[in-house]
A and B are shown apart, each in its own frame.
Chain A
Amino acid sequence: MTVVTKMKGFAAAAGLAATLMTGGATYALAEEVTLTMAVPDWPPTRIMKKFFDEQYKPKSGNTVKLDVDFIPWPDFYTRVNASLTSGEQKYNFIVSDSQWLGAFVEGGYYRKINDLLDADPEFKKTLMSVHPAPLAAYSTYPYKSENYYGFPQFPDVLVNYGRKDILCHEEEQKNFQAKYGKKLPCTGEELDAMTWDDFKNVGEFFRRKKGEMLAGAPAEDDFYGIAFQAGKGYDFSSMQINGFIWQMGGNVWDETQAPTGQAEGVVNSPEAVAALEKYLSLLEYMPPVAKTGTMDIFKSDELFREGKVAMNIDWIGLGEASLDPKSSKVSDKLVFGQMPGTMGPDGKMIRWSNIGGQPFVLTTWTTPEQTTEAVEFVKWWLSNDIQHQFAAGGGQSAVKEVYEDPKYVTYRPWNRAWAPQLDWQKDVWHVPQFFELLTQQQDQFDLAITGKQDAKTTLDNIAKFQQDLLTNAGLIQ
């Protein structure tokens, strides 16, 4: 029994010491506050850390440290998920895909920040200066509600990467005009004006075998006109297909309509089936890896950087690598435009697209002292000056004043497509069942992409699965 008494004595002593320490701290002038942050390891987060270390001066006079755990992208979710669900309570800030919000809010890990916004009008003003589409995507759960959670870290949209040297080549221009009776898009504005049909024409037109003439010289290798994501992993086909579905008048299961919004009849509506068919019909003009179901955002980007395709739809987040001559064979031949759209019946272009990028969020175990410093840090991060610096260093900003500044488009060649695209961004589900919905949908899309199943069957299967799952979860009545 002596062991127990000793342990109790020890516990009491430790408790006393802890009280003394915290009590003592309130009298101290400057505290040291450490904010721990889990981030994926890539330039936008490295820049954030760098700016913080070099420039951040807390107003409170405290010493604030940002302790950043850089986790490689491929394992980021696994690491963060395990840390959160095991109750490790290790991180104060977490960079999170917007779709994870529901799962981790319901689990009690992500902190709702409405009280902080109400308490600090300046903070609220800062957050509300973010464009409403990304703000809803990155911060709200349920999606588009008034409950706020996150702040933009790296906002992202899909854009069209093009090869100027090929697209603007005189010979190709002439032949394209002759074949399709239209001008081959070559400038950024011409890329902006493209529909998916034009995109298909580019794909068909530029399919060249090794040795055939390409832009005035024999092609060194097989060449393809177009590429976009069509991979089975994570969300590497849904993010593209959703854009098609929305543009052509269909919809995914809409959580803002819950509980009356249905999956069956919506997800597999004739418009959605037509949209998926359109998406699938473009695959035949893409590099052969598209047939394996492994052409994800990285593979299509790699094919583009290696000079195997003329156009690629991909996230801005991958753009820096194509500008860098070390990692890109086309670094000096680039032109960027908005993702192609669908011509509406009224002659106006419909450009719905699925938003990318990540917010970062606060966790529920962050102490009041930490929270105070965290709010100051977020205000600083979203301030115009820092956002401008971030954008100039390769980031993106969804803060209105920043991206509307004429300087903004000069930072990077794709920035001209940024502001007009923001209005057209929507997000998929924020519900806790996100991962189940996504996994099943990706599996089904993969069957369609690899030619094992037609568009109708695919969407029927998805609709049925979602209807069952969401009905069981009480999200569909």
Chain B
Amino acid sequence: MTSTTATAPPPALMRLSPDNWKLAILVGLIVSVIAAIALPASASFWIIGAMAAMIGAAFVVNAYRRKYYGGLLVAPAIAVLFVMNIFPLLWSLGLSFYAYQSNQQSIRFVGLANYIKVLTNDIAAPANWAALVNTAMFVVLTVTAQMIVGFLLAMMFAKQFPLRKYLLILVLTPMMLSVVASGVFFTYYYDPTFGILSYVVNAITGGQFILMSSKVGAVAGIVFADAWMWSPFVMLLVLAGLVSVPKYLYEAAAIDRVSKWRQFWTITFPYIRGLLMLALLFRTIEAFKLADLVILLTKGGNDTMTISYHLIRIANEQNKTSEGAAISYLMLFMVIVLTNLYLYIANRRSQGA
């Protein structure tokens, strides 16, 4: 690995050189503090930004001179992510320790009070817990459905056959729809007066079928719509893995008369394992954020409130910014634990294999 091929010793603190990142940090900090104190926010913002860029540049030059290619390649991505994502994340993390409502001018430090409130307050907490339980249910149901359907679809398309690409695009289309449009149309499909589902069921049973009038029906309706939209995502990832399996491996296996089942586990699976994991990871993360379909289909009725929708109500409709931030960081903590668990299991498997 070339990352260890550092040659020159790091420069001394006070030497003026474009790769002296220690000096850059020192100067940047001093200038930023002065700017923040002396200048109005709109001007100091730019200066602090320029200082951050200078420090970044010093790191880059330093990395380049010492052939830290890893750092060099990663730098632009980190920079964009920091400005657009991590900085706002830290900002809202900070807010979660204050009593702050975005439609009021006052702000006050309260420590962990928001976290305690959302976990134990006898008015706020039950709604949070109920929403969390529902979210867990939706995560399990939607992700399982997507993984199974997506995997089966991918196996279906794994071989080359006539007209394959024309059929594949049909299956990929649901994912390309805007959630607003597909969600609104699902309300139509499920509608007891106009909808297709009730029309078909009524024609068979002669009764009056109302899918969304019970919790089971409402959950089934949401899970079906979500799984329908996002199974193609899993399929495409798995398929990308399947087609990257070199054909000669199968040819060799065929010569050795290895059974199909063993072929799958020993040849195919290692190629798709990483991508399956990725699909599982990203779908789980997205499933935790499930809100738009719920809003469109049930408005959280029939006990289908999810934590993300609950959060939208708290943080946006009611402007309880700090409380919303606290809920979302608790949620983040849970997602982190879960994803780490995934990654841990995946890594152990791959080392064991």
A86 to B298, CA, bound (A): 29
A78 / chain B contacts, CB cutoff of 8 Å: 316
- Asked if B103 and A104 sit within 8 Å, CB to CB, the answer is yes
- Asked if B298 and A293 sit within 8 Å, CB to CB, the answer is yes
Question: Taking the complex as formed, is B34 at the interface, i.e. its CB lies under 8 A from any CB of chain A?
Answer: yes
A1 to B302, CA, bound (A): 63
Look across to chain A and name the residue whose beta carbon is closest to the beta carbon of B184: A74
Binds A, one of B66-74, B208-216, B236-244, B278-286: B208-216
A104 to B194, CA, bound (A): 40
Question: Taking the complex as formed, is B3 at the interface, i.e. its CB lies under 8 A from any CB of chain A?
Answer: no
- Asked if A439 and B318 sit within 8 Å, CB to CB, the answer is yes
B263 / chain A contacts, CB cutoff of 8 Å: none
Question: Taking the complex as formed, is B178 at the interface, i.e. its CB lies under 8 A from any CB of chain A?
Answer: no
A104 / chain B contacts, CB cutoff of 8 Å: 103
B46 / chain A contacts, CB cutoff of 8 Å: 7
Q: Closest approach, in angstroms, between the C-beta of B290 and any C-beta of chain A?
A: 17
- Asked if A103 and B103 sit within 8 Å, CB to CB, the answer is yes
Question: Taking the complex as formed, is B99 at the interface, i.e. its CB lies under 8 A from any CB of chain A?
Answer: no
- Asked if B213 and A436 sit within 8 Å, CB to CB, the answer is no
What 1/0 flags go to B296-326 for Cβ under 8 Å of A?
0111111000000000010011110000000
- Asked if A107 and B212 sit within 8 Å, CB to CB, the answer is no
Question: Taking the complex as formed, is B102 at the interface, i.e. its CB lies under 8 A from any CB of chain A?
Answer: yes
- Asked if B298 and A4 sit within 8 Å, CB to CB, the answer is no
A231 / chain B contacts, CB cutoff of 8 Å: 299
- Asked if A4 and B104 sit within 8 Å, CB to CB, the answer is no
A108 / chain B contacts, CB cutoff of 8 Å: 105
- Asked if A446 and B301 sit within 8 Å, CB to CB, the answer is yes
What is the size category of the interface that chain B forms with chain A? 35 or more
Residue of A106, A288, A439 near B104 (CB, 8 A) is A106
From known contacts A288-B193, A435-B318, infer whether A293 and B302 are also in contact, taking CB-CB under 8 Å.
yes
Determine which residue in A84, A303, A450, A468 has the highest number of CB atoms from chain B within 10 A of its CB, and name it: A450
- Asked if A450 and B213 sit within 8 Å, CB to CB, the answer is yes
A84 / chain B contacts, CB cutoff of 8 Å: 103
> What does DSSP make chain B's interface, helix, strand, loop or mixed?
loop
Question: Taking the complex as formed, is B18 at the interface, i.e. its CB lies under 8 A from any CB of chain A?
Answer: no
A82 to B299, CA, bound (A): 21
Which residues of B, 200-252, contact A by the 8 Å Cβ criterion?
208, 210, 212-213, 218
From known contacts A84-B103, A291-B213, A292-B212, infer whether A308 and B317 are also in contact, taking CB-CB under 8 Å.
no
A308 to B195, CA, bound (A): 14
- Asked if B212 and A294 sit within 8 Å, CB to CB, the answer is yes
Residue of B31, B123, B218, B299 near A3 (CB, 8 A) is B31
B218 / chain A contacts, CB cutoff of 8 Å: 292
From known contacts A4-B34, A232-B300, A292-B210, infer whether A439 and B317 are also in contact, taking CB-CB under 8 Å.
yes
What 1/0 flags go to A31-56 for Cβ under 8 Å of B?
00000000000000000000000000
What 1/0 flags go to B43-75 for Cβ under 8 Å of A?
100110010000000000000000000000000
> What does DSSP make chain A's interface, helix, strand, loop or mixed?
helix
A109 to B43, CA, bound (A): 25
Determine which residue in A109, A231, A289 has the highest number of CB atoms from chain B within 10 A of its CB, and name it: A289
Question: Taking the complex as formed, is A249 at the interface, i.e. its CB lies under 8 A from any CB of chain B?
Answer: no
Q: Closest approach, in angstroms, between the C-beta of B339 and any C-beta of chain A?
A: 29
B105 / chain A contacts, CB cutoff of 8 Å: 107-108
> B-contacting residues of A (Cβ < 8 Å)?
1, 3-4, 7-8, 11, 77-78, 81-82, 84-86, 103-104, 106-109, 221-222, 231-233, 287-289, 291-294, 303, 306, 308, 432, 435-436, 439, 443, 446, 450, 465, 468-469
Top 4 closest A-B pairs, CB basis? A85-B102, A293-B301, A107-B103, A288-B192
Q: Can you list 29 A-B pairs, Cβ within 8 angstroms, ordered by A? A: A1-B31, A3-B47, A11-B43, A77-B317, A78-B316, A81-B103, A81-B316, A103-B103, A104-B103, A107-B105, A109-B103, A221-B193, A222-B208, A231-B299, A232-B299, A232-B301, A233-B299, A287-B192, A287-B193, A288-B213, A289-B210, A291-B213, A292-B192, A292-B301, A292-B302, A293-B302, A308-B193, A435-B318, A435-B319
> A-contacting residues of B (Cβ < 8 Å)?
31, 34-35, 39, 43, 46-47, 50, 102-105, 123, 187, 191-194, 198, 208, 210, 212-213, 218, 297-302, 313, 316-319
Extra pairs beyond A222-B193, A232-B301, A292-B212 (8, CB < 8 Å) = A4-B47, A82-B316, A107-B104, A232-B298, A306-B193, A306-B194, A439-B317, A450-B213
